[in-house]
């Protein structure tokens, strides 16, 4: 999954939900600002519903999107992801909490490995 949080071009082309719709997702393609992963992780249900109304992302649902965001943050190797992931542990949704814990564990491992491989560090 890497850092993808939702779909891809091929998925959009073959998805039966899209039927005969034109390529792309007009409500999303007209968006000028793409939220950062940390911002997405902090998104509440109401904001999700407002931001993604009329898009395929809305069908995915808030908790499943945040699950995917947690995975992408865990795969990022970016220490700035720790804050949003720790905050996500307080979200009363087991799916989000489980993936936030996974992501924090993965980040801890990745960041520790990067420190041990840095020049001047002994193993």
Give dist(CA 24, CA 110) in Å, integer.
Answer: 34
Alpha helices in 54-121 (DSSP H): 56-60, 62-76, 82-88, 94-117
The tens digit of pLDDT for each residue in 70-94 reads 999 999 999 999 999 999 999 999 9
pLDDT at 32: 37
Banded model confidence at residue 59, pLDDT cuts 50, 70, 90: confident
Q: Which long-range contacts (CB under 8 A, 24 or more apart) does 36-40 make?
A: 37/3, 37/5, 37/69, 37/72, 37/73, 37/76, 37/81, 37/84, 38/73, 38/80, 38/81, 38/83, 38/84, 40/5, 40/65, 40/66, 40/69
Kindly report the pTM of this predicted structure.
0.76
Over residues 1-53, the pLDDT tens digits come to 556 677 665 666 677 766 665 555 555 444 434 578 999 999 999 999 998 88
For the cut 70, the answer to whether the pLDDT of residue 114 exceeds it is yes
Domains of the chain: 9-117 (1.25.10.10)
* pLDDT bracket for residue 99 (50, 70, 90): very high
């Amino acid at each position: 999954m890497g850092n993808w949080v939702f779909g891809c071009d091929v998925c959009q082309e073959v998805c039966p939900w899209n039927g005969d719709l034109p390529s792309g997702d007009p409500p999303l393609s007209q968006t000028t600002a793409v939220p950062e992963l940390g911002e997405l992780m902090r998104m509440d249900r109401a904001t999700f519903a407002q931001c993604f109304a009329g898009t395929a992302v809305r069908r995915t649902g808030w908790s499943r999107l945040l699950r995917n965001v947690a995975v992408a943050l865990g795969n990022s190797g970016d220490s700035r992801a720790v804050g949003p992931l720790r905050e996500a542990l307080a979200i009363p949704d087991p799916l989000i909490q489980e993936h936030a814990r996974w992501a924090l564990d993965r980040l801890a491992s990745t960041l520790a490995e990067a420190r041990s491989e840095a020049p001047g560090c002994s193993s």
